[in-house]
A and B are shown apart, each in its own frame.
Chain A
Amino acid sequence: MTRCPKPEMWVRYAAGELADRPRRALAAHLESCDACRREVRDLARGLEAMESLEREPALRPQMLDTLERRLRVAAANRPTRPRVITLVARYGWAAAAAAVVAATLVLHWPAESPPTVLPGNHQAESLQEVAAAIELLRVADNGTTPLPPQNLFPAGRQNELDLLLELDDAGLLLDYLMSQDKLQG
Protein backbone atom coordinates (compact mmCIF):
# COMPACT_ATOMS: atom_id res chain seq x y z
CA MET A 1 0.00 0.00 0.00
CA THR A 2 1.27 3.49 -0.83
CA ARG A 3 1.81 6.03 1.92
CA CYS A 4 -1.39 7.86 2.89
CA PRO A 5 -1.69 11.42 1.54
CA LYS A 6 -2.09 14.34 3.90
CA PRO A 7 -5.66 14.96 5.14
CA GLU A 8 -5.68 18.35 3.40
CA MET A 9 -5.23 16.59 0.10
CA TRP A 10 -8.40 14.63 0.72
CA VAL A 11 -10.29 17.87 1.27
CA ARG A 12 -9.47 18.96 -2.25
CA TYR A 13 -10.27 15.49 -3.51
CA ALA A 14 -13.68 15.39 -1.84
CA ALA A 15 -14.43 18.90 -3.06
CA GLY A 16 -13.53 17.95 -6.64
CA GLU A 17 -10.76 20.51 -6.89
CA LEU A 18 -7.94 18.32 -8.08
CA ALA A 19 -6.64 17.98 -11.60
CA ASP A 20 -7.17 14.72 -13.35
CA ARG A 21 -3.77 13.20 -12.68
CA PRO A 22 -3.57 13.64 -8.89
CA ARG A 23 -7.24 12.76 -8.64
CA ARG A 24 -6.63 9.43 -10.34
CA ALA A 25 -3.60 8.75 -8.16
CA LEU A 26 -5.65 9.35 -5.01
CA ALA A 27 -8.52 7.25 -6.32
CA ALA A 28 -6.06 4.41 -6.83
CA HIS A 29 -4.85 4.79 -3.25
CA LEU A 30 -8.43 4.68 -1.97
CA GLU A 31 -8.97 1.28 -3.47
CA SER A 32 -6.49 -0.21 -1.06
CA CYS A 33 -6.87 1.98 2.04
CA ASP A 34 -9.86 1.69 4.38
CA ALA A 35 -8.72 4.55 6.61
CA CYS A 36 -8.56 7.01 3.72
CA ARG A 37 -11.89 5.80 2.39
CA ARG A 38 -13.45 6.62 5.75
CA GLU A 39 -11.72 9.97 5.68
CA VAL A 40 -13.14 10.84 2.27
CA ARG A 41 -16.59 9.62 3.25
CA ASP A 42 -16.61 11.89 6.28
CA LEU A 43 -15.47 14.89 4.28
CA ALA A 44 -18.08 14.23 1.62
CA ARG A 45 -20.74 14.00 4.33
CA GLY A 46 -19.62 17.34 5.72
CA LEU A 47 -19.84 18.93 2.29
CA GLU A 48 -23.20 17.32 1.66
CA ALA A 49 -24.57 18.60 4.97
CA MET A 50 -23.93 22.17 3.84
CA GLU A 51 -26.23 21.54 0.88
CA SER A 52 -29.16 21.53 3.30
CA LEU A 53 -28.84 25.28 3.64
CA GLU A 54 -30.57 27.65 1.29
CA ARG A 55 -27.80 28.90 -0.97
CA GLU A 56 -29.88 31.89 -1.95
CA PRO A 57 -32.07 32.64 1.06
CA ALA A 58 -35.11 34.78 0.45
CA LEU A 59 -34.61 38.37 1.53
CA ARG A 60 -37.20 40.63 3.03
CA PRO A 61 -38.75 42.81 0.32
CA GLN A 62 -38.21 45.96 2.36
CA MET A 63 -34.52 45.14 2.63
CA LEU A 64 -34.27 44.79 -1.14
CA ASP A 65 -36.16 48.04 -1.61
CA THR A 66 -33.76 49.81 0.71
CA LEU A 67 -30.77 48.32 -1.08
CA GLU A 68 -32.10 49.40 -4.46
CA ARG A 69 -32.77 52.91 -3.19
CA ARG A 70 -29.30 53.21 -1.65
CA LEU A 71 -27.67 51.99 -4.85
CA ARG A 72 -29.65 54.58 -6.84
CA VAL A 73 -28.52 57.32 -4.49
CA ALA A 74 -24.93 56.11 -4.73
CA ALA A 75 -25.19 56.12 -8.53
CA ALA A 76 -26.62 59.63 -8.54
CA ASN A 77 -23.87 60.87 -6.23
CA ARG A 78 -21.10 59.19 -8.11
CA PRO A 79 -18.57 61.84 -9.00
CA THR A 80 -18.25 62.30 -12.73
CA ARG A 81 -14.54 62.05 -13.11
CA PRO A 82 -12.79 63.55 -16.09
CA ARG A 83 -11.75 60.93 -18.57
CA VAL A 84 -8.09 61.44 -17.88
CA ILE A 85 -8.62 60.84 -14.13
CA THR A 86 -10.53 57.63 -14.81
CA LEU A 87 -7.73 56.56 -17.06
CA VAL A 88 -5.08 57.36 -14.50
CA ALA A 89 -6.98 55.33 -11.91
CA ARG A 90 -7.16 52.41 -14.25
CA TYR A 91 -3.84 52.70 -16.00
CA GLY A 92 -1.95 54.58 -13.30
CA TRP A 93 1.34 52.86 -13.83
CA ALA A 94 1.16 53.41 -17.59
CA ALA A 95 0.55 57.09 -16.93
CA ALA A 96 3.56 57.08 -14.64
CA ALA A 97 5.64 55.49 -17.37
CA ALA A 98 4.52 58.16 -19.82
CA ALA A 99 5.34 60.84 -17.25
CA VAL A 100 8.82 59.38 -16.78
CA VAL A 101 9.39 59.50 -20.51
CA ALA A 102 8.17 63.08 -20.68
CA ALA A 103 10.30 64.08 -17.68
CA THR A 104 13.34 62.45 -19.22
CA LEU A 105 12.85 64.43 -22.39
CA VAL A 106 12.35 67.68 -20.48
CA LEU A 107 15.47 67.13 -18.39
CA HIS A 108 17.50 66.65 -21.52
CA TRP A 109 16.09 69.73 -23.14
CA PRO A 110 18.73 72.46 -23.61
CA ALA A 111 17.86 75.30 -21.24
CA GLU A 112 18.88 78.34 -23.24
CA SER A 113 18.89 77.17 -26.77
CA PRO A 114 15.91 76.88 -29.10
CA PRO A 115 14.39 73.44 -29.57
CA THR A 116 16.51 71.31 -31.72
CA VAL A 117 16.41 67.74 -32.85
CA LEU A 118 17.97 65.54 -30.19
CA PRO A 119 20.31 62.79 -31.18
CA GLY A 120 18.46 60.04 -32.94
CA ASN A 121 19.33 57.34 -30.46
CA HIS A 122 17.86 59.39 -27.55
CA GLN A 123 14.49 59.73 -29.26
CA ALA A 124 14.55 56.09 -30.19
CA GLU A 125 15.10 55.14 -26.54
CA SER A 126 12.16 57.30 -25.45
CA LEU A 127 9.88 55.72 -28.00
CA GLN A 128 11.03 52.31 -26.93
CA GLU A 129 10.10 53.10 -23.33
CA VAL A 130 6.60 54.13 -24.38
CA ALA A 131 6.23 51.04 -26.53
CA ALA A 132 7.42 48.88 -23.63
CA ALA A 133 4.87 50.51 -21.33
CA ILE A 134 2.08 49.70 -23.78
CA GLU A 135 3.27 46.16 -24.18
CA LEU A 136 3.38 45.72 -20.41
CA LEU A 137 -0.16 47.03 -20.19
CA ARG A 138 -1.27 44.63 -22.87
CA VAL A 139 0.28 41.73 -21.00
CA ALA A 140 -1.26 42.89 -17.71
CA ASP A 141 -4.67 42.97 -19.38
CA ASN A 142 -4.19 39.41 -20.59
CA GLY A 143 -3.91 40.61 -24.14
CA THR A 144 -7.28 42.36 -24.22
CA THR A 145 -5.68 45.70 -25.00
CA PRO A 146 -4.63 45.57 -28.62
CA LEU A 147 -1.23 46.77 -29.69
CA PRO A 148 -1.10 50.35 -30.91
CA PRO A 149 -1.08 50.93 -34.62
CA GLN A 150 2.31 51.08 -36.10
CA ASN A 151 1.93 54.73 -37.00
CA LEU A 152 1.29 55.84 -33.41
CA PHE A 153 4.77 57.24 -33.35
CA PRO A 154 5.79 57.44 -37.00
CA ALA A 155 9.40 56.66 -37.49
CA GLY A 156 9.71 59.71 -39.69
CA ARG A 157 8.91 62.13 -36.89
CA GLN A 158 12.15 63.79 -36.06
CA ASN A 159 11.04 66.90 -34.26
CA GLU A 160 11.34 66.41 -30.50
CA LEU A 161 8.83 69.21 -29.88
CA ASP A 162 6.06 67.29 -31.67
CA LEU A 163 6.58 64.33 -29.41
CA LEU A 164 6.55 66.46 -26.27
CA LEU A 165 3.33 68.18 -27.30
CA GLU A 166 1.63 64.87 -27.77
CA LEU A 167 2.84 63.43 -24.49
CA ASP A 168 1.85 66.57 -22.62
CA ASP A 169 -1.38 66.20 -20.53
CA ALA A 170 -0.80 62.47 -20.76
CA GLY A 171 -3.03 62.71 -23.77
CA LEU A 172 -1.83 60.64 -26.65
CA LEU A 173 -1.02 57.41 -24.93
CA LEU A 174 -3.92 57.43 -22.51
CA ASP A 175 -6.48 58.63 -25.04
CA TYR A 176 -5.45 55.81 -27.28
CA LEU A 177 -5.91 53.34 -24.44
CA MET A 178 -9.31 54.84 -23.67
CA SER A 179 -10.43 54.55 -27.26
CA GLN A 180 -9.43 50.90 -27.18
CA ASP A 181 -10.89 50.28 -23.77
CA LYS A 182 -12.52 46.88 -23.68
CA LEU A 183 -13.10 46.59 -19.99
CA GLN A 184 -16.63 45.69 -19.17
CA GLY A 185 -18.85 48.21 -17.51
Chain B
Amino acid sequence: MALRDKDSDAQERRLAAYAPRVYGLLVRMVGNRDTAEDLTQETLLRAFRAFETYRPEGKFRAWIFRIARNAARDWLRRRPLEPALGLDADWAERAPPSPRRQSRPEDRLLHGERASKVEAALRRLPAPDREILLLRYYGELAFNDIAKVTGEPLGTVLARAHRALKKMAELVPEEES
Protein backbone atom coordinates (compact mmCIF):
# COMPACT_ATOMS: atom_id res chain seq x y z
CA MET B 1 0.00 0.00 0.00
CA ALA B 2 2.87 2.34 0.84
CA LEU B 3 4.34 1.67 -2.56
CA ARG B 4 1.02 2.47 -4.24
CA ASP B 5 0.80 5.79 -2.33
CA LYS B 6 4.31 6.66 -3.31
CA ASP B 7 3.51 5.81 -6.93
CA SER B 8 0.40 7.96 -6.84
CA ASP B 9 2.30 10.93 -5.42
CA ALA B 10 4.94 10.66 -8.10
CA GLN B 11 2.30 10.36 -10.82
CA GLU B 12 0.39 13.36 -9.45
CA ARG B 13 3.52 15.49 -9.42
CA ARG B 14 4.53 14.36 -12.88
CA LEU B 15 1.13 15.14 -14.33
CA ALA B 16 0.62 18.42 -12.47
CA ALA B 17 3.85 19.71 -14.00
CA TYR B 18 2.13 19.58 -17.38
CA ALA B 19 -0.83 21.67 -16.28
CA PRO B 20 0.43 25.08 -17.54
CA ARG B 21 1.37 23.79 -20.98
CA VAL B 22 -1.76 21.75 -21.37
CA TYR B 23 -3.76 24.81 -20.38
CA GLY B 24 -1.80 26.93 -22.89
CA LEU B 25 -2.87 24.55 -25.66
CA LEU B 26 -6.45 24.16 -24.52
CA VAL B 27 -7.25 27.82 -23.96
CA ARG B 28 -6.26 28.52 -27.55
CA MET B 29 -8.23 25.57 -28.85
CA VAL B 30 -11.49 26.33 -27.04
CA GLY B 31 -11.06 30.10 -26.63
CA ASN B 32 -12.44 30.22 -23.13
CA ARG B 33 -10.45 30.34 -19.93
CA ASP B 34 -12.94 28.60 -17.65
CA THR B 35 -13.51 25.80 -20.12
CA ALA B 36 -9.78 25.44 -20.67
CA GLU B 37 -9.24 25.11 -16.92
CA ASP B 38 -11.90 22.43 -16.69
CA LEU B 39 -10.47 20.57 -19.65
CA THR B 40 -6.95 20.82 -18.24
CA GLN B 41 -8.15 19.14 -15.07
CA GLU B 42 -10.08 16.57 -17.07
CA THR B 43 -7.04 15.80 -19.19
CA LEU B 44 -4.75 15.25 -16.23
CA LEU B 45 -7.36 13.21 -14.38
CA ARG B 46 -7.87 11.01 -17.42
CA ALA B 47 -4.13 10.54 -17.69
CA PHE B 48 -3.88 9.75 -13.99
CA ARG B 49 -6.59 7.10 -14.24
CA ALA B 50 -4.96 5.60 -17.31
CA PHE B 51 -1.48 5.65 -15.83
CA GLU B 52 -1.47 1.98 -14.92
CA THR B 53 -2.21 0.95 -18.45
CA TYR B 54 0.12 3.47 -20.05
CA ARG B 55 2.86 1.71 -21.96
CA PRO B 56 5.95 3.68 -22.87
CA GLU B 57 5.61 3.11 -26.61
CA GLY B 58 6.03 6.77 -27.47
CA LYS B 59 6.78 10.02 -25.77
CA PHE B 60 4.94 10.54 -22.51
CA ARG B 61 4.42 14.17 -23.45
CA ALA B 62 2.79 13.18 -26.72
CA TRP B 63 0.45 10.88 -24.79
CA ILE B 64 -0.63 13.73 -22.49
CA PHE B 65 -1.16 16.14 -25.35
CA ARG B 66 -3.14 13.60 -27.31
CA ILE B 67 -5.51 13.27 -24.36
CA ALA B 68 -5.73 17.07 -24.11
CA ARG B 69 -6.33 17.55 -27.81
CA ASN B 70 -9.04 14.89 -27.82
CA ALA B 71 -10.68 16.47 -24.78
CA ALA B 72 -10.81 19.81 -26.58
CA ARG B 73 -12.14 18.21 -29.75
CA ASP B 74 -14.84 16.40 -27.79
CA TRP B 75 -15.84 19.65 -26.11
CA LEU B 76 -15.97 21.51 -29.42
CA ARG B 77 -18.12 18.76 -30.92
CA ARG B 78 -20.54 18.90 -28.01
CA ARG B 79 -20.86 22.69 -28.35
CA PRO B 80 -21.40 23.20 -32.06
CA LEU B 81 -23.35 26.42 -31.66
CA GLU B 82 -20.72 28.30 -29.70
CA PRO B 83 -17.92 29.89 -31.65
CA ALA B 84 -14.71 28.07 -30.92
CA LEU B 85 -12.70 31.23 -30.53
CA GLY B 86 -13.32 34.86 -29.84
CA LEU B 87 -15.65 34.80 -26.85
CA ASP B 88 -12.84 35.19 -24.41
CA ALA B 89 -10.39 37.15 -26.47
CA ASP B 90 -8.40 38.31 -23.48
CA TRP B 91 -7.40 34.79 -22.50
CA ALA B 92 -3.71 35.59 -22.62
CA GLU B 93 -3.79 38.93 -20.88
CA ARG B 94 -5.63 37.62 -17.86
CA ALA B 95 -2.77 35.39 -16.92
CA PRO B 96 0.13 37.16 -15.23
CA PRO B 97 3.34 37.01 -17.24
CA SER B 98 6.19 34.89 -16.00
CA PRO B 99 8.94 36.60 -13.96
CA ARG B 100 11.30 36.27 -16.92
CA ARG B 101 9.05 38.59 -18.86
CA GLN B 102 8.46 41.06 -16.05
CA SER B 103 11.98 42.41 -16.10
CA ARG B 104 11.56 45.96 -17.42
CA PRO B 105 8.34 47.91 -17.95
CA GLU B 106 9.22 48.79 -21.54
CA ASP B 107 10.07 45.16 -22.33
CA ARG B 108 6.83 44.07 -20.77
CA LEU B 109 4.90 46.54 -22.88
CA LEU B 110 6.61 45.53 -26.12
CA HIS B 111 6.24 41.89 -25.32
CA GLY B 112 2.59 42.35 -24.47
CA GLU B 113 1.91 44.10 -27.77
CA ARG B 114 3.65 41.45 -29.77
CA ALA B 115 2.02 38.62 -27.88
CA SER B 116 -1.36 40.20 -28.59
CA LYS B 117 -0.56 40.29 -32.29
CA VAL B 118 0.49 36.66 -32.19
CA GLU B 119 -2.74 35.73 -30.41
CA ALA B 120 -4.75 37.64 -32.99
CA ALA B 121 -2.88 35.96 -35.83
CA LEU B 122 -3.47 32.54 -34.29
CA ARG B 123 -7.19 33.21 -34.13
CA ARG B 124 -7.22 33.85 -37.86
CA LEU B 125 -5.78 30.45 -38.70
CA PRO B 126 -8.04 27.53 -39.59
CA ALA B 127 -8.47 25.41 -36.45
CA PRO B 128 -6.59 22.34 -37.77
CA ASP B 129 -3.62 24.51 -38.82
CA ARG B 130 -3.60 26.37 -35.52
CA GLU B 131 -3.68 23.07 -33.67
CA ILE B 132 -0.42 21.95 -35.31
CA LEU B 133 1.42 25.09 -34.20
CA LEU B 134 0.01 24.82 -30.68
CA LEU B 135 0.97 21.16 -30.32
CA ARG B 136 4.43 21.97 -31.51
CA TYR B 137 4.86 24.95 -29.22
CA TYR B 138 3.22 23.80 -26.00
CA GLY B 139 3.94 20.11 -26.38
CA GLU B 140 7.39 20.71 -27.87
CA LEU B 141 6.57 17.84 -30.16
CA ALA B 142 8.33 17.01 -33.40
CA PHE B 143 6.12 16.90 -36.47
CA ASN B 144 6.38 13.11 -36.49
CA ASP B 145 4.89 13.03 -33.00
CA ILE B 146 2.23 15.56 -33.91
CA ALA B 147 1.17 13.29 -36.76
CA LYS B 148 0.69 10.49 -34.23
CA VAL B 149 -1.26 12.77 -31.90
CA THR B 150 -3.63 13.99 -34.62
CA GLY B 151 -3.76 10.71 -36.53
CA GLU B 152 -2.93 12.48 -39.78
CA PRO B 153 -0.22 11.61 -42.30
CA LEU B 154 3.06 13.43 -41.72
CA GLY B 155 2.73 15.12 -45.12
CA THR B 156 -0.62 16.61 -44.11
CA VAL B 157 0.80 17.85 -40.82
CA LEU B 158 3.74 19.47 -42.58
CA ALA B 159 1.47 21.08 -45.17
CA ARG B 160 -0.68 22.54 -42.39
CA ALA B 161 2.40 23.75 -40.54
CA HIS B 162 3.75 25.35 -43.69
CA ARG B 163 0.53 27.22 -44.35
CA ALA B 164 0.19 28.31 -40.73
CA LEU B 165 3.78 29.50 -40.35
CA LYS B 166 3.62 31.53 -43.55
CA LYS B 167 0.42 33.16 -42.36
CA MET B 168 1.95 33.95 -38.97
CA ALA B 169 4.95 35.53 -40.68
CA GLU B 170 2.59 37.62 -42.78
CA LEU B 171 0.42 38.77 -39.86
CA VAL B 172 3.01 39.32 -37.15
CA PRO B 173 5.58 42.02 -37.82
CA GLU B 174 9.19 41.14 -37.34
CA GLU B 175 10.53 41.72 -33.85
CA GLU B 176 12.83 44.69 -33.59
CA SER B 177 16.18 43.83 -32.12
Contact = CB atoms under 8 A, between A and B. Distances in A.
Asked whether A and B interact, the reply is yes
B165 A71 contact: no
A42 B167 CA distance: 9
B168 A55 contact: no
B71 interface: no
Interface in B16-61: 16, 19-21, 23-24, 27, 37, 40-41, 44-45, 48-49, 52-53, 55-56
A80 B48 contact: no
Interface string A21-56: 000000000000000000000110111111011111
Interface residues of A, number: 44
Given A52-B114, A185-B11, A70 B41 contact: yes
Contacts of B52: 81, 86, 89-90
Contacts of A184: 56
Contacts of B53: 89-90
A75 interface: yes
A123 B157 CA distance: 52
User: From DSSP, what is the main secondary structure of chain B's interface residues?
Assistant: helix
A50 B16 contact: no
A43 B8 contact: no
A119 interface: no
Contacts of A75: 5, 8, 11-12, 48
Please indicate which of the listed interface residues A7, A14, A86 has the most CB atoms of chain B within 10 Å of its own CB. A7
Interface stretch (A61-69, A102-110, A170-178): A61-69
Interface string A147-172: 00000000000000000000000000
A14 B136 CA distance: 13
28 contacts: A7-B162, A8-B161, A12-B143, A15-B161, A17-B143, A43-B166, A45-B169, A45-B174, A46-B166, A49-B169, A50-B136, A53-B115, A53-B118, A54-B24, A54-B98, A59-B37, A59-B40, A63-B37, A67-B19, A67-B40, A71-B12, A71-B16, A75-B5, A78-B4, A78-B8, A90-B53, A185-B7, A185-B10
Interface of B: 1, 3-8, 10-12, 15-16, 19-21, 23-24, 27, 37, 40-41, 44-45, 48-49, 52-53, 55-56, 92, 95-98, 101, 111, 114-115, 117-119, 121, 133, 136-138, 142-144, 155, 158-159, 161-162, 164-170, 172, 174-175
Enumerate the 9 nearest inter-chain pairs by beta-carbon distance, A residue then B residue, closest first.
A46-B165, A8-B158, A46-B168, A185-B7, A56-B20, A45-B169, A75-B8, A49-B172, A42-B169
Given A43-B166, A81-B52, 5 more contacts: A12-B158, A52-B117, A54-B95, A58-B20, A63-B41
